Amino acid sequence: MRGQAPFWIDSSAASVQFPDVLLALEEPNGLLAVGGDLRVERLLAAYRHGIFPWYNDDQPILWWSPDPRAVLFPERLKVSRSLGKTLRKHPFRVTADQAFAEVMAACGGPRRGANGTWITPAIKQAYGRLHELGIAHSVESWRGDELVGGLYGVAIGRVFFGESMFSRVTDASKVAFVYLVRQLQRWGYELIDCQVRTEHLVSLGAETIPRAEFTRLLERWSAVEGRPGPWILEEPPEADATP
């Protein structure tokens, strides 16, 4: 049955087990559990089961598994004509894993129409630890020596779990995203988790699938050997626009 959540997770318990995602609430969509901690073992257990933390600084840790799930299959990336034109101009130097902490800080900065941030000091510390272990990664867009856009996420097996992106210059985050997706294609990654649907992500090729389908794909592709960090981008992506 659905609607029995949220469950309470005891942070003092040795187990990092989560309830079945089928028990997540329908409203708010996907809320599964409350509490626990952000240690590496718990975060990895969460991602492998299609669960992620998302909460404000004045809340306990909230764990989510929404239905449907927003995903992007790398081969279905959409590059608009205007973005393709930008890519051909190479306005940014794009790197990977060169400024993880700075990207997280920028993603957690003030945003128009938003109060506060879910990228709390505890989140920064936890994902910083994942980055040190070669599990969390960033992609950066630079203009000269200035960081003007980027994104970060978690890679397990051949699945990349996107967490957040930011842009201080038009198309800076989109260019970083295209570079990332093209690189993941070359490495044989099969799935990018976008968590929840936004028009911004849809414009890049994201789509929604039932959570049951997502968890089946996740079980398959997260168990396959991936690409441990640090990551290096091999070459610029093709700039061809998607019809």
The pLDDT assigned to 113 comes to: 45
* Biggest CA-to-CA distance, the chain: 54
CA 131 → CA 16, 114, 137, 186, 221, distances in Å?
A: 20, 27, 6, 21, 21
Nearby residues of 75 by Cβ (< 8 Å), 6 or more positions away: 185
Is the pLDDT at 178 greater than 80, yes or no?
A: yes
Average pLDDT of the residues in 66-72: 98
- The pLDDT, as a whole number, for residue 1 is 40
- The mean pLDDT of the chain is 92
CA distances to 7, 70, 94, 237 from 56, in Å:
18, 22, 30, 36
pLDDT tens digit sequence for 83-115: 999 999 999 999 999 999 999 999 998 655 444
Whether the CB-CB separation of 206 and 162 falls below 8 Å is answered with: no
Q: Please give the residue that has the higher pLDDT: either 168 or 241.
A: 168
**DSSP-derived secondary structure for 171-237:** THHHHHHHHHHHHHHHTT--EEEEES--HHHHTTT-EEE-HHHHHHHHHHHTTS----SS----SPP
Question: Domains in the chain, start-ordered, CATH in brackets?
Answer: 7-66 (3.30.70.3550), 70-221 (3.40.630.70)
Is 133's pLDDT higher than 60?
yes
Does residue 13 surpass a pLDDT of 90? Answer: no
Q: How far is CA 194 from CA 82, 125, 198, 207, in A?
A: 23, 22, 9, 9
Residues with Cβ within 8 Å of 135's Cβ and at least 6 positions away in sequence, in order, are 40, 44, 154, 155, 156, 228, 229
* The residue type at 128: G
